[in-house]
Structure 1
């Protein structure tokens, strides 16, 4: 049977050569559906026809089918196919040879196969063909998308002075460096661009501004924005939005609002991303009325909302505990023909959990699953946290079991949430079991996990176990944990250990909270250690804490009784 198919395939070859390329491709495709086993020769012929007829997209589509396995050959090797195609028998002119290589390179780039991309780019250069800037840039992008910065950097430096590298090549490198937080390298490439025959455009400046904003270098970002104007370039909507967002995230709220007004004065009207950024800032401070004014302005100006717009407003309502209005907004969103995404559901579920409406949260969870949306780790953590705060450990653990069954491994946060639920109810046995389970699955407890357990033991009055955990931490305790320990020792009546912890905090540059100071003074007074209590009281006031009247009165009474 195979021999027959092979003969039929060979019989097709003369037909492929004689008819127009489009018809040849159609014949080739139809033969594939009839289970014909093609050879290198038949594939080389059809690719030759397409390339020599400048049908680049058809050739690329065929190669993509080959690379993805939708067309199969016994012992397929692309190098062998390339050798067949570059055989003198086909007599491809240099232009078509270059087009063939570029088709192969772009097909591999589409499949995110960066090593073959690089191999065929260099092979192309070796045989005297010159890749276009577009092809070179597609290889550069493919390498960077594989997070191979050093490999991309080496390629860029090697061909920086060639005609393949253009303004876009510099922009690709700068943007990627900014995305990974490598600002120094981004500015190094920017300096090289300015020394070349190419000049930076507004897109490149915008990438640098965004990179500076992400790294908190807001003054540098503002300086770059001013340079754009000085060079006679015009900032676009994205440039303004990136800087406005950066100003907000770095706490420069008024500067962000001022830049938004300047944007409109300069005749650059906000787009949906700008509006979303502004709404987020107003929602963040509870100014939902102004956020909705912006929504109305969007509609008036014909700027279409997107899912992020609604998610931002739903988040704002949930932050304000106005979950009923958030729920109404979900219905409005659907009515507008917009499908809520996982973030929408997670946000609203979190709102229900924070307001104790656990039945609604669970109902929304089930509805989300029925619509085909798959819950994420965040989804489960939101629900587990909600049920844990409600004291329902049983449902919390059931949800953790469900997430495991779905192939979502619980995170450190998941375990910590459940441990906290146990400690709140005083179930330290189960809390410790979960703590050991966390370590058993290869996770390392963090400072919050230790803090939750230490607090549990302190609340139970078991300072021996709390101290064991405190000493077992392989990182520095923070002020929260120190304050827990001080409070625990004070409740136990151990003034010596409470004072030692307080002094240790001071030595490490930490400031105890008002409760730690007050309770330590109180326990020292009860133990008759008035001199120590007096020193702590003075330290408390010097650190900016105002002692409660009750503590001042206690000190006065103790001094009277002691005859001081």
Structure 2
């Protein structure tokens, strides 16, 4: 019950069950329950709550053993609290509790994640003298640390040493090592290590193939990724949605959206249902290629299916479009200047019980500003405020930039004043936009005055700020001020 409640995030109910158990049972035998509670909190990144459970154990007459120490140390290391994890380890030593192989493995992981693989190796080599046998998890953790730090020779040598000792990682442990290599784009090294473990009876699973496909896509080797997908099928494995999505995402990032859509069709033919990520990726790919439905909403590109048809297909297959899906398409429409179509789509999303967010409004406002429709953009912002969507810094900066590009500096400065009314502090981007507008409108004195006001507000200038100042003073032939600014 504790495990299930924790998995579903029902922590209050979980704590009530534990409290009831404390009253019914001898607390000395409840360590396993406390460990389960700590892990549940750890999975949800509730670090302080996990620590509180650990700290209360001895208060409730349940003395923590090495197992409890290992669990809380691992939670701290996984979430980047390395110093705190070290303090827990020192506390374990002070209590006279003997560390076990998992304690050392957690310590090794901590060293590797803080870029100290050589310290991790010393600890690994010291394990037998502490009565702990080597294991594949400890070895692969150190090897991953060396690869992360670009100590390739040390990593490769340690991998060979592990195999010579007869320590062969299982596929789950090996996959973690592969993930490190493929994340760094080192596909060839991954293949060499895979060949070594294959000869020792370790067979890849679907996750292994998914890691390779992701690594190949990151390197732009999409043909290799496609062959790897075929290889997984040839091995009798059934690719899942993650497998196809990885390849589809890689293809779309390299503008191969048609090929990506073909793989989506293969995905459907294999009995898998594309999810929102699948459709969102392909829609985004088509939008970036400017293949969005034209203004008359009738003609689609003669060669390719446009993003609107994919969007309709997603809706037709029972996938409820979410705000990300709508925003992706609205962004594509605005990029082509199809503002009325974007507004229509925003109205449609509200009819489909999908509420727009401030980013939806920002996209529309940005599109209108680029077309010079500043009054309409202001109306959209006011509409967003009326509906409870508070504008952010991007909203204001977009409008200010639109007015400055038309040299309507009075309106731009008025919006800056409005920002303060909404408790939004102008940033360096805001001031640079205003300064650039004043410079272009040949208001050198106003540029300097605004610059001083910016400094008084605690906004630190950057190189763009100084470039604008120099340009403004040069235009006004104030070379002395220009030299001081530079």
State the TM-score bracket (shorter-chain normalisation).
0.5 to 0.7
With normalisation by structure 2, the TM-score equals 0.64
**In the alignment, does 2:360 pair up with 1:531?**
no
With normalisation by structure 1, the TM-score equals 0.57
Contact 1:282 1:288 (8 Å CA) reproduced: yes
Find the aligned partners of 2:231 and 2:131 in 1 and give their Cα distance: 44
Decide whether aligned partners of structure 1 residues 280 and 469 sit closer, same or farther in structure 2, where only a CA change above 3 A counts.
Answer: farther
Contact 1:330 1:340 (8 Å CA) reproduced: no
Contact 1:237 1:269 (8 Å CA) reproduced: yes
**In the alignment, does 2:256 pair up with 1:427?**
yes
SS of aligned partner of 1:408 = coil
Decide whether aligned partners of structure 1 residues 290 and 500 sit closer, same or farther in structure 2, where only a CA change above 3 A counts.
Answer: farther
Unmatched 5+ residue regions in structure 2?
A: 294-305, 382-393, 399-418, 443-486
Instruction: Identify the residue that residue 101 of structure 1 maps to in structure 2.
Output: none
Find the aligned partners of 1:182 and 1:440 in 2 and give their Cα distance: 39
Decide whether aligned partners of structure 1 residues 547 and 238 sit closer, same or farther in structure 2, where only a CA change above 3 A counts.
Answer: same
Greater RCO (CA < 8 Å, at least 6 residues apart): 2
**In the alignment, does 2:134 pair up with 1:305?**
yes
Residues 106-145 of structure 1 aligned to structure 2 (within 5 Å) = none
Task: Indicate the RMSD between aligned Cα atoms, in angstroms.
Answer: 4.1
**In the alignment, does 2:31 pair up with 1:203?**
yes
**In the alignment, does 2:307 pair up with 1:466?**
yes
Find the aligned partners of 1:553 and 1:501 in 2 and give their Cα distance: 36
Number of corresponding residues: 383
SS of aligned partner of 2:203 = coil
Report the more deviating stretch, 419-428 or 294-303: 294-303
Contact 2:232 2:239 (8 Å CA) reproduced: yes
SS of aligned partner of 1:229 = coil
Flag the structure with larger Rg.
1
SS of aligned partner of 1:443 = coil
Instruction: Identify the residue that residue 448 of structure 1 maps to in structure 2.
Output: 277
**In the alignment, does 2:101 pair up with 1:272?**
yes
Decide whether aligned partners of structure 1 residues 391 and 230 sit closer, same or farther in structure 2, where only a CA change above 3 A counts.
Answer: closer
Choose from 361, 376, 380 the match for 2:205. Answer: 376
Find the aligned partners of 1:263 and 1:413 in 2 and give their Cα distance: 41
SS of aligned partner of 2:178 = helix
Decide whether aligned partners of structure 1 residues 383 and 475 sit closer, same or farther in structure 2, where only a CA change above 3 A counts.
Answer: same
Contact 2:41 2:49 (8 Å CA) reproduced: yes
Instruction: Identify the residue that residue 322 of structure 2 maps to in structure 1.
Output: 477
Decide whether aligned partners of structure 1 residues 210 and 398 sit closer, same or farther in structure 2, where only a CA change above 3 A counts.
Answer: closer
Instruction: Identify the residue that residue 229 of structure 1 maps to in structure 2.
Output: 58
Find the aligned partners of 2:220 and 2:240 in 1 and give their Cα distance: 20
Find the aligned partners of 1:245 and 1:195 in 2 and give their Cα distance: 29
Find the aligned partners of 1:559 and 1:530 in 2 and give their Cα distance: 18
Residues 42-121 of structure 1 aligned to structure 2 (within 5 Å) = none
1:63-114 per-position Cα deviation (integer Å, ceiling 9, x unaligned)? xxxxxxxxxxxxxxxxxxxxxxxxxxxxxxxxxxxxxxxxxxxxxxxxxxxx
Once the two structures are TM-superposed, the CA of residue 296 in structure 1 deviates from its matched residue by 5.1
Once the two structures are TM-superposed, the CA of residue 253 in structure 1 deviates from its matched residue by 4.7
Once the two structures are TM-superposed, the CA of residue 319 in structure 1 deviates from its matched residue by 4.1
Find the aligned partners of 2:334 and 2:432 in 1 and give their Cα distance: 16
1:296-338 per-position Cα deviation (integer Å, ceiling 9, x unaligned)? 5545534333211122223334444555543333123224432
Find the aligned partners of 1:508 and 1:252 in 2 and give their Cα distance: 37
